[in-house]
């Protein structure tokens, strides 16, 4: 194993229960995993200024990662703001707001 791979493996192991599962990977809590992906793909300084629940922030994280890694071009506006306005429009169409 290369030293960089070993460092990554050790860091990720700290995010699990640390038990030995033989050939299988140790389990990681879903929220811990999403937080790690956010840190990796969006950077350690990524945050939201909206007073939202963790589940709402999770939606933002997934959206930001997907648009960042699918060649989406931001057209002079915040992608998060665009997503929120789009989601609100969808709820209005469905009569939920």
pLDDT in tens, 46-58: 999 889 999 999 9
pLDDT in tens, 13-26: 999 998 989 899 99
Could you tell me if 97 and 54 lie in one domain?
yes
Could you tell me if 4 and 41 lie in one domain?
yes
Residue 62, classified by CB atoms within 10 Å of its CB into exposed (0-12), middle (13-18) or buried (19+), is middle
Q: Which helix (H) or strand (E) holds 83?
A: helix 79-93
Tally of domains within the chain: 2
Residue with tokens 């945050």: 47
Could you tell me if 4 and 32 lie in one domain?
yes
Could you tell me if 41 and 57 lie in one domain?
no
Could you tell me if 8 and 36 lie in one domain?
yes
Which tokens go with 63?
Answer: 């959206």
Q: Which residue range forms the structural domain that includes residue 4?
A: 1-46
78 vs 22: CA distance, rounded Å: 45
Could you tell me if 42 and 58 lie in one domain?
no
Could you tell me if 15 and 2 lie in one domain?
yes
| Residue from 28, 33, 89 nearest 65 by CA | 33
Residue with tokens 């990662």: 65
Q: What mean pLDDT is predicted for residues 58-77?
A: 77
Could you tell me if 62 and 94 lie in one domain?
yes
Secondary structure (3-state) at 4? helix
Q: What is the pTM (predicted TM-score) of this model?
A: 0.70
């Amino acid at each position: 194993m290369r030293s960089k791979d070993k460092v990554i493996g050790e860091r990720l192991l700290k995010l699990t229960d640390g038990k030995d599962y033989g050939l299988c990977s140790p389990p990681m809590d879903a929220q811990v995993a999403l937080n790690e992906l956010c840190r990796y793909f969006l950077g350690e300084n990524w945050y939201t200024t909206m007073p939202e629940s963790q589940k709402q922030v999770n939606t933002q994280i997934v959206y930001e990662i997907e648009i960042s890694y699918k060649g989406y071009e931001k057209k002079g506006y915040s992608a998060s703001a665009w997503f929120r306005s789009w989601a609100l429009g969808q709820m209005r169409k469905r009569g939920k707001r």
